[in-house]
Structure 1
C-alpha cells in the first residue's frame, strides 16, 4: 500500500513487518529473487517514460534522453546483470580446513545468507538509478528493502512510491517519502544493513544514527575527483571526454571530474579545446537545448554562482563557455553555462567544496609528481582520471594515488561497468556494490564448519598429556 504522512513509529512498524516476513519465509530461493528483480525490470520498462518526465519536472529541465540512458536503461542493465548471475553467486563457497582435519573428513564452507532488511537512502541527482542499482544487489542477495528517496526530486519520489506499491507488497518493498526529519528518523532505524548515497556532510549524521543500532553501512559519497591530463594525451579527445562528463546532468554527478591538472604549456590550448567540445555537443546553444540539464534548484544555482563570484574576487581567470552568447539571467529554469576557472588557489571555495555543477577548475603543472602530491595532500576521492599513452606515467599515477575507482582515458565510465565494484575510500565512502561485489555487500558471509567423526582430537582435551604438548610444540616454531 502507499504510505502517506509517516512517523518514526510507522516506519518502525513496517520494518518489523519486513523482518518478521524474512524469518517466516526463510531464505528466498533463486526463483523468488529473480521474480523480485523481474518486477523492477517490468516497472522500469512500463513506466520509464513517466519517470523520465517526472525527473525533468523536478529539475526544471532535465534531458529526457539522458534520463532514459542513465536512470532507466542503466537501472535495467544492473537488474539484468544480477538476474543473470545470482544463482552462481548464491552457491556455497568451499574453504580449506586445518591439516590434518581435511584428511579426517572435516569440511568448511561459506554460506551467503540474506542479511534481512536493507534500508536504501537515495539522492536527487540520479533518483531512479541510485534507487534501483543498489536494489538489484539487495534482491540478488535475497533481502527486502525500505527506501527513502530524496525530497529534492519530489515528483519522482512520489511516483516511485506509487509504482513500488503496485508491484510489491509492503513486506517486500516499502517507500517512505518526506523531508529531512523523516530522513533522520529513517537512518536511525535498526536495519540489517543500510546504504546511503549522498553528501559527505550528511553521511556523518547517517553514520552516527546507524551507530546507535550498530547497523552496517555502505556509504557512497563523493568529493573532488581529479583529472591528470598527461603530456602524451590527445588534447582534443581528452577535452571532449572531460567536458562530456562535466556537462552530463550539468555536472551534478558524484563522479564528475571536479578539477583537472593540465600541462603548463597546454593550459590555454585546453581551454580552446574544451570550448570547441561544448560547441560541438550543443551546436544550438544551451539555454533552450533539450539535451542540456538544469541545475536542480535555486539553492544549488546560487551556490554555484557564489563559487564563481568568490574566484573572481580572489583574482582567478574565469571563462564562460557560452558558444551562442546566451543570456542566462532570463530563463524559466536554472540552467548554467559551463565555466572554466584557470589556476585557482586553494583559498577559493571552488577548490574546497565538491562542485557538483558545470564548473571545471584547471591547474597548470610541470611535473606529474607535483599533481600526484597535490592529490595525496587532500581527501581521497571517489574517482580519479588519467589521460595519456605513457604507460610508465600511468602506472606511477595509479600506484601512488588512492581513490574509489579509476577511468583511464575517459571520465566516469568505470561506474558503468557492472562487473566492477563501485565505492569510495575514506571521506568518499565505505563499502562497495555493483555486480558480485554488491551481492557480497548485502549478504552475511556465514562460516560453516563440519567436524570430523574421528576421536583423534580427544588428545586436545584435558587432561593434557605428552601428545597434546608435542602438538602444541610443533606449532610454536618459525
Structure 2
C-alpha cells in the first residue's frame, strides 16, 4: 500500500520536474478537460453517488456538486491570464532604480483528502484551483463513497492519464498513509479530530496544509426580520443533502416570542416542498446506519435532558430517511449543542437581545460559517464585526460557497487556509518575490567601512 502510494507520488513529481511552469494554454486545456468530464459523465456521477448514499437526489448532485465546479472552471478560465501575470511591486527609494515583482509558481504535487458528503465537489473543486495554479494532484477518496470513488478514478485516468491526476481509494489506513506522503501542499476536508491527525502527519514532512473542518454554523435572526421569510430562506440550506453539509445551519438563535412561529413556518414549508419525504426521490438518505444512529442518539439525549421535539413528518426509526426535526428548549449542556450535527436536526434557541445572541456565538468555537437575517445595516455590521467565522452570509445561508470571487475556508477549530477563486490560485502557488537590481544602487553606500560620513548621512536619511 505505502509503496503504491509512494510510486504514484514519484510519478507525479517526475512529471512536474519535467515541466515546472505550465503555460496559460496548457492550464486552460486541463480545466476544459475537467469541465468536459463533468458534463459528459454527469449522469454516471449522479447515479454512483446516489448508490453510495442509498438514495440521493440526482438533481441535488447536479445542482450542489456539478454546477458549482463547472461555474468555478468558467471563473478561473476568465481570470487566469491576469492571475498568472507577474505582480509588479514598488521597490522604494532605497532600492531605486531596481524593479520588483511577485511570480506565482506552481508548488508541485497537491494532495487532496476528500470527504463523503460532497465527494465530487470536494475533490474536483480543489482540482480547479490546483490546475489553475499549474500543479499535479493526488486525491484520496472517502471509503464511504466507494462507487463514486471507483468511477472517479476511472474517469480521471481516462481524461487525464496518470501524470496529471491520480485518484486513490481505500480505508482509513490508506488515508493515514496518504497523509504522511511528502506532498508540496495537502488539503483535507473532514472532522476537526481527524484534521488534527492529518496535520500531525503532514508536519513530519513540513507539508503545508489547508484544513476545512466544519463546526456548528449559527443563524442569528435579527429582531426586525420577518419570520416567514426567514423560514423560506433557511429551509433549503438546512435540508439539502439531508443536512449533511459542512456549512449547513447548525442551530438558530431566534428572538424570544418568535420561536413558535418559526417552528410552524419551517414545518409547513417542509411539507409543502417535500410531501411524503420517505418516498420522495428529492429527499436524500442519511449516508449510513452509523450516522443515523448518531443522529438518533443526539436527539434522544436532548429529549432526556428536557428538549422539546417537533417532527416535520413521521418516520420509521429503522429507515435511513430522516425528515426535518426541530428541537427547542435546548441548553449548552446537551451534545446536540456541542457537536456538529451533520443531519436534518435543527435546534432553535431563544434570545432576549442581540448582545446575548452575539455572546452565545462567541462562547462557542469559531464556526465555518455564520448567517444573520436582518435588514438593519447596524445589526448586520455589528454581527459581522463582533463575531468570527470562516465565512458569512446576510439574509441567506450556505450558498456563499458557490460564489467564486470570495475565499472559502475556516478559522481556528473550523479550519485554516482558503481556496476558491484568486485565493485558491494563491494557496496552491509559491509567491516568489523577485528584485532586479539597477545599475545604480543606493545600498552600495552602506558598504564598510561604516565610519564614513556618507554612511552616517544615509542612516540619518532612512532611519527616521
Partner of 2:32: 38
Distance 1:375 1:455, change over 3 A: closer
Give ranges in structure 1 of 5+ residues lacking alignment. 1-6
Distance 1:432 1:339, change over 3 A: same
- Equivalent pair of 2:306/2:329 in contact (CA under 8 Å): no
- Please give the secondary structure, in 2, of the residue aligned with 1:256: coil
CA deviations 1:201-241 (Å, max 9, x no partner) are 11000000000001111111100000001111121111122
- Equivalent pair of 2:445/2:458 in contact (CA under 8 Å): no
- Equivalent pair of 2:109/2:184 in contact (CA under 8 Å): yes
Partner of 1:409: 395
Name which of 297, 303, 306 aligns with 2:297: 306
**Structure 1 residue 193: Cα displacement:** 0.6
How far apart, in 2, do the equivalents of 1:267 and 1:455 lie? 70
Partner of 2:455: 468
Partner of 2:13: 19
- Please give the secondary structure, in 1, of the residue aligned with 2:396: coil
Distance 1:77 1:455, change over 3 A: closer
- Equivalent pair of 2:38/2:66 in contact (CA under 8 Å): yes
Following superposition of structure 1 onto structure 2, how do residues 351-370 of structure 1 map, counting pairs within 5 Å?
351-370=337-356
- Please give the secondary structure, in 2, of the residue aligned with 1:433: coil
Quick check: 1:383 aligned with 2:377? no
Quick check: 1:297 aligned with 2:299? no
Quick check: 1:287 aligned with 2:278? yes
- Please give the secondary structure, in 1, of the residue aligned with 2:433: strand
Partner of 2:85: 91
Following superposition of structure 1 onto structure 2, how do residues 183-262 of structure 1 map, counting pairs within 5 Å?
183-262=175-254
Quick check: 1:392 aligned with 2:378? yes
- Equivalent pair of 2:218/2:252 in contact (CA under 8 Å): yes
Partner of 1:4: none
Partner of 2:317: 329
**Structure 1 residue 475: Cα displacement:** 2.9
Following superposition of structure 1 onto structure 2, how do residues 99-114 of structure 1 map, counting pairs within 5 Å?
99-102=93-96, 105-114=97-106
Distance 1:386 1:57, change over 3 A: same
Cα RMSD, aligned residues only: 1.1
- Equivalent pair of 2:286/2:322 in contact (CA under 8 Å): yes
**Structure 1 residue 98: Cα displacement:** 2.4
- Equivalent pair of 2:407/2:418 in contact (CA under 8 Å): yes
How far apart, in 1, do the equivalents of 2:394 and 2:443 lie? 55
Partner of 1:137: 129
Partner of 1:78: 72
- Equivalent pair of 2:215/2:340 in contact (CA under 8 Å): yes
- Please give the secondary structure, in 2, of the residue aligned with 1:357: coil
Name which of 332, 338, 341 aligns with 2:327: 341
How far apart, in 1, do the equivalents of 2:106 and 2:30 lie? 14
How far apart, in 1, do the equivalents of 2:318 and 2:169 lie? 33
**Structure 1 residue 169: Cα displacement:** 2.0
- Equivalent pair of 2:20/2:106 in contact (CA under 8 Å): no
**Structure 1 residue 351: Cα displacement:** 0.5
Name which of 249, 264, 284 aligns with 2:256: 264
Distance 1:468 1:355, change over 3 A: same
How far apart, in 2, do the equivalents of 1:83 and 1:98 lie? 34
CA deviations 1:45-103 (Å, max 9, x no partner) are 1111001001111000000111111111221111221122111110000001121433x
- Please give the secondary structure, in 2, of the residue aligned with 1:448: strand
CA deviations 1:308-363 (Å, max 9, x no partner) are 100111111111111xx4x42364xx111211110211111101100000000000
Distance 1:467 1:12, change over 3 A: same
How far apart, in 1, do the equivalents of 2:442 and 2:165 lie? 51
How far apart, in 2, do the equivalents of 1:456 and 1:428 lie? 47
- Equivalent pair of 2:94/2:442 in contact (CA under 8 Å): no
CA deviations 1:413-442 (Å, max 9, x no partner) are 211101110011001111111111100110
Name which of 277, 295, 302 aligns with 2:269: 277
- Please give the secondary structure, in 2, of the residue aligned with 1:437: helix
CA deviations 1:275-307 (Å, max 9, x no partner) are 11101211x311010111000000000000001
Distance 1:248 1:471, change over 3 A: same
TM-score by length of 2: 0.98
Partner of 1:316: 307
How far apart, in 2, do the equivalents of 1:28 and 1:116 lie? 11
- Larger mean CA deviation between 74-83 and 376-385 belongs to 74-83
**Structure 1 residue 455: Cα displacement:** 5.6
Quick check: 1:56 aligned with 2:50? yes
- Equivalent pair of 2:301/2:335 in contact (CA under 8 Å): yes
